[in-house]
A and B are shown apart, each in its own frame.
Chain A
Amino acid sequence: MPFNQALRLSSVLLAAAAFIGLGLGANLPEWLLLLTGISLILTLLRTLDIDRFQRVFDRMRLSAMVWNILTVIAFAGFWADLLWISAELLPAGVHFLLILMVIKLFNLDQRRDYLHLYAISLMAILGSAASTTDLWYLPVFLAYLLMGVWTLLLYQLTKESGTGHSPASMTENAAVALQPGRREQITPELFWLANGLAVGALCLTVLIFFTIPRVSAGFGQKGSGEGLRTSGFSETVDLGMIGPIKRDPGIVMRVELSDRTGLQLDRFYLRGMAYDRYDGKSWTTRLAHRRALVESPAGTFSVRHISSRSPRPVGQLIRQTILLEALDTAVLFAAPHPESISGQFLAIQSDPTGAIYLPFPTSSRIEYTVHSSVTPVAPADLQSQPAVYTEVFKQHFLQIPESSERLGVLAREITQSKSSAYEKAQAVEAYLTKNYRYSLDIPSSVQTNPLEEFLFERKTGYCEHYATAMVMLLRAAGVPARLVTGFLATEWNEYGNYYLVRQRDAHAWVEIHLPNSGWVTMDPTPAVSEPSGDSQWFALSRVMDTLRLRWNRFFVQYNAADQLAVVRGLKEGTAVVRDRAWNSLSLLLAPAGDFAGKTLSYIVGGNVRLAAGFLSFVVLGVGLVIWLMQRKPWSRWRRSGPVIREHIVIGQIYRGVLKQIERHGIAKPRNATPQEFLLLVQQQWAAAAEFVATITELYCRGRFGKMILTQQEIDLAYHSLKQLTQLDPPAHT
C-alpha cells in the first residue's frame, strides 16, 4: 500500500477509534451516531480507492464557503446546545466535536486538514475518557494508540518523501510532492516495525507508570535524614551533636496558621519527642511504647489521652496545617499540646509523652492538620508547693545521673528563695539565660561530662546544653522536668501566612510538670539575633517560597481526587469550574500582588534611593521593550512558513561564497540571479565553478524552495565552501 493511501487510511481509523470511544461512553443522540458512522464508512471506502465512492465524493464536493457556513452553524448549535438543550458543557462539546469531525471528513484535501482531524480525534478520545471508567475503554484506547503511532509515522514519512533527497531527484519533486508516491510502499518490515514500536511504547509506559513514583512523591528530593538524627526523632539524643545541623538552611516544613492572635510571634514551638532519662552523655526515652490512636470521625485522630496524672484543661485551640518534607523519621511535629490530628493517614500512633508518630517513615511530602491547645499556667500553680509524686513518676522525671554533686549545690543556690515549682523553674531559666553565652562553636571532641563542662567550665553552649542543664537543675531541686526536641519556628512568611521551618531551626527545650497545669513549656536558651531577615531581598525570597508552595499545592499534588473534581465540575456546569480556576489563580497570584503593594508603600514611605533604583529599572525595561519592538528581531522568523535552521545556514554559506569570490575581484552584480552569477563564475574562474554550482543548487532549494536540507547536504555545502577558499586565485585576463 502506498504511503499516502496508508496515511489516509490510518487517519480515518484514528478518527473511527475516537468515535467508537465516544459512542460507547457518552450518551449520544441516534442521528448523530448514524451521521458520523456513515461519514466514517464512506470516507473509509473512499480511502480504499473504490471508484464508485470516489465519484460520490466528487459529487458531494461543495465549495469551501458552504463548509465554512456549516461550521459556523455547528458552532451556533453548540452554544444553543450548551445553553438550552443539554445545558451541560461535556455533552454539548462532544456533539459539537462529532459534527466538526463529519465536516472535516468530507474535506480531507490538504495536509492541514489531516492535522485538524487528529486534533479533533484527540479531543474526542479525551472526551470519552471523561465520560467513562468502564473497562471497554481500554481496547478502544489501545486501538487509538496504535493508530496514533501509525498515523504519526506515516505523516512524517509522507512529509519528508518530497524533500531532502539527492539533487538528482529535484526534477521530480513537484511530481512527488503532489501525486501519490507510487514507489513508496509499506513493506512487511515497516509494518512490523510500526506495530512493534506501538506495543513497545505502551509496555514502557506501563512499566514507568508502575515503577516510577509520582512527581509529588518527592523521590528525587534531597535526602535530609542524616542530619536529623539529633533533632528529636530517635530514641537517643547525644549532647553536642546538634551543632552542625544548626547551620543547615534546608527546608523541613511549612506551618500554615489560620489565626495567629494570642501567640508569641517570633517563637513558635513545634514539638517532636520528649526524653526522660539522662545518663551523663545522652538522653533516652523509656516511655517509648506506642499505642494506636482512635480515628473519629474519619480522617481525624484524637491525640488527647491520659499520659499525665492530671487531666490537662483545654485552652485556646490553634489550628496548624503542616506541609512536612520527606524525612526519614516517623515523628509528626505539632505545636504543644496536640489535641487532634487529621490528614490522609491509615494509622497514627502516640507514646505517653505526647509525641505523635506515623507507623513508619514516609518517603514523600505529607500534609496534615493539627489542633493544639494552648494553656496558660494555672493560677494555683504559681504559688503552691511541689506536689507529691508517685514512685514511677519520680523514676522517670526526677532521675539524675550519679556523680553530680556540684549540680545539686548549684540547684540549691539558685532555687533557695523560691517556694513553688513554677518559681523555681523561672529562676533557673533566668539564671541560665543571664549567665551563659550562646555559641555554636563548641569543639565536638569527646567530652567525658558535657553537662558539667557547660555549667562550670566553658559556660558557652547551645540549646541542648541549656535545656539539659535546666532539666538537671530542676530535677535536683525536686521539680519534674523533661527534655523536648523539635523545631523553633521564627521565619514568618507574611505573604503566605505560614512559618518556614528549616533544618537549622532544630531546637531542644524543657517541659516542667505542674500539678494543675500539666506539662508546661519553658526555654532557657536565649533568643539568638539571626541575620536580619527584614530587607526587601528576604521579602522577595519569601514571595518566591510562597509561590513555590502554591505551585505544589495546586499543580504538583494534583491527584486523582482533583481529577475527579474537575470532571464532576465539568458535568455540573461551567460556573463551578470558572470559580475554581479563578480561585486557584488569585490564590497563586495574591502574594505577588501583596508584595508589589508592600514595595510600593515602602517606596512611598520615603526610601528615595530604592525609589530611584526601582524607577530606573522600570525605565530600562520599557526602553528595552521599545527597542525590541522597533528592531523586531523576531520578524525574520515570522515570515510565512516555518523557518528552519538549515535555511539560515545555507544562506550563510552562500553569502560566504559571495564574499570569498568577491575577494578575487568577481563581485555578484546586484541584479544577477544565482544562476547568472554561476555563469559569470564559470567564465571568469573555471576552477571555482564546480563548487559554486553545488552550493548554488543547494542554496536555491533551501532558500527559494523552502526544502529541508539533510545534514549530508549541509556538510557537502560546507565542504565545498572550504575547498573554494583553498583554491588558487583566478588568472585574470
Chain B
Amino acid sequence: MKSAQLVASIQENIARVIKGKSRVIELAVVSLLARGHLLLEDVPGVGKTTLAHSLARSLDCSFKRIQFTSDLLPSDIVGVSIFNRQKQGFEFVPGPIFANIVLADEINRTTPKTQSSLLEAMSEAQISVDNQTYPLHQPFMVIATQNPAEYHGTFPLPESQLDRFLMRVQIGYPSPEEERKVLERPQSLHPAEALQPVATAQDVLALQQQVDDVLMEDSLLEYLLAIVLATRQSDLLSLGVSTRGALALSRAAKALAFVRGRAYCLPDDIKELAPAVLSHRIMVSRSQGLGHRSFEQSERIIQDLVESVSVPV
C-alpha cells in the first residue's frame, strides 16, 4: 500500500471513534511518525484515553496502559528483577513500559521520582534496571494525559520531562452535533475495541524512515531558527526554546508535510505546529502574572512570536 494511503487510513480509522477532532488526530499521527511522544492536556471525559487507545488499536501493535497514582513506584513501570528459585538467579520481569504504545494516564498524579523513571525510556527508547540495559519495542510512543483543572494532590511535570514530549495538545469539547453522534452510538462495546488494525509496526517504522527524507529547504530552516531565537529573546518569557525544541519542531514539520502528502515542507507546516510543539517548553516570565502557566497563555505568546517573524519568499 502507498504510504500516503496508509497514513490516510490510520487517520480515518481513528476518526470513526473520535468524532469531529480531525486536527487532534492528525497531530497524534504526526507525533507517531516523528518518533515523538504526545502530551494530551485537557479536562476529564473528552476522549484523551480513547484517542490513545484507538491509535494503538489501528496499528496492530502492543498497547499498555499505566494509571498513574500517587503510590506508583518506578518498578511498577519499568519492571523488576526477582529471584528465580529454579534457576538460582535473578530474573527480569518487564513492566508495562515494554509495549509499542504506552498510555500514561494522569501522569501528574504520581511522584516526581516515578515520573523521572519514564525519562530514560522516552528519550533513549531503553531502560536500565540493575545495571542492565533493555531496549524497548520499536516503534515506541508514550501518550500521556494530564488534567489541568485539579491541583490537589498533583505533582506538575519537571521541565526536563516536559521537553521530552514532542507536542502538547488540547482536545476540547466536541461540537453539539458531534456530541450527539457520540451519544447515539451503541454503548455495549467500547468503540475503540471494534477497530480493526490498518497498519503494522513494520509499516510505522517504514513511514518514520520516510519522514526523515522529507525536504526542508534552507530558507525554511532559517525561518524555524528565527522563531526559536525569538522565544529566547522575548521579554515575555524567562526561558526560551531549547535546541531539542528546535529539533522537535523540524521533525514535526517534516512529519506534518508527509502526512499531508508532500515530500517537502512549507512555511505553513512550521507556523501551524509552533504553538503545539513549543508552548510547553517555555517558561512565562513573572511579569506576565504569577501562579500557574496556563495552556492558553503560553500558546498565545508563541503564536504572537511566530507572527513577528517574517516568512521567506
Contacts and interface: CB of A to CB of B under 8 A. Distances in A.
A172 B217 contact: no
Contact of B268 (A179, A658, A675, A706): A675
Contacts of A675: 266, 268
A13 B145 CA distance: 56
A728 B215 CA distance: 39
B210 interface: yes
Interface in B228-274: 257-258, 260-268, 271
Contacts of B198: none
Interface stretch (A17-25, A28-36, A359-367, A697-705): A697-705
A453 interface: no
Nearest to A700: B266
A171 interface: yes
A299 to B, nearest CB: 64
Interface stretch (A83-91, A436-444, A665-673): A665-673
A358 interface: no
A602 to B, nearest CB: 52
B262 A671 contact: no
B262 A174 contact: yes
A177 B210 CA distance: 10
Given A174-B3, A704-B265, A640 B313 contact: no
Given A654-B313, A658-B313, A671 B306 contact: yes
Interface string B20-55: 000000000000000000000000000000000000
Contact of A674 (B218, B258, B267, B310): B267
Contacts of A670: 310-311
A654 B313 CA distance: 9
Contacts of B264: 701, 704-707
Contacts of A640: 218
A679 B306 CA distance: 18
A672 B306 CA distance: 10
Q: Which of A162, A704, A705, A706 has the most CB of B within 10 A?
A: A704
B190 interface: no
Interface in A454-481: none
Interface in B57-109: none
B250 to A, nearest CB: 14
A175 interface: yes
B2 A175 contact: yes
A178 B263 CA distance: 9
Contacts of B262: 170-171, 173-174, 705
B4 interface: yes
B247 to A, nearest CB: 19
Contacts of A673: 266-268, 271, 311
Contact of A178 (B210, B218, B268): B210
Interface string A422-461: 0000000000000000000000000000000000000000
Interface in A682-733: 700-701, 703-707
B220 interface: yes
A126 B265 CA distance: 43
A658 B264 CA distance: 23
A172 B2 contact: yes
A162 B264 CA distance: 12
B308 A655 contact: no
B119 interface: no
Interface in B167-189: none
B112 to A, nearest CB: 37
B225 interface: no
B214 interface: yes
A701 to B, nearest CB: 8
Nearest to B220: A704
A268 to B, nearest CB: 65
Nearest to A703: B217
B268 A676 contact: yes
A706 B214 CA distance: 11
B3 A179 contact: yes
Contact of B261 (A171, A179, A707): A171
B213 interface: yes
10 nearest A-B residue pairs (beta carbon): A171-B261, A705-B264, A174-B263, A670-B310, A673-B267, A673-B268, A175-B2, A175-B3, A173-B263, A675-B268
14 contacts: A171-B261, A172-B2, A172-B4, A174-B210, A174-B261, A175-B4, A178-B210, A658-B313, A670-B311, A671-B306, A671-B309, A673-B267, A674-B266, A675-B268
Given A162-B263, A178-B3, A673-B267, 14 more contacts: A172-B4, A172-B261, A174-B210, A177-B213, A651-B313, A671-B307, A671-B310, A671-B311, A672-B311, A673-B311, A675-B266, A704-B265, A704-B266, A707-B264
Interface of B: 2-4, 210, 213-215, 217-218, 220, 257-258, 260-268, 271, 306-311, 313
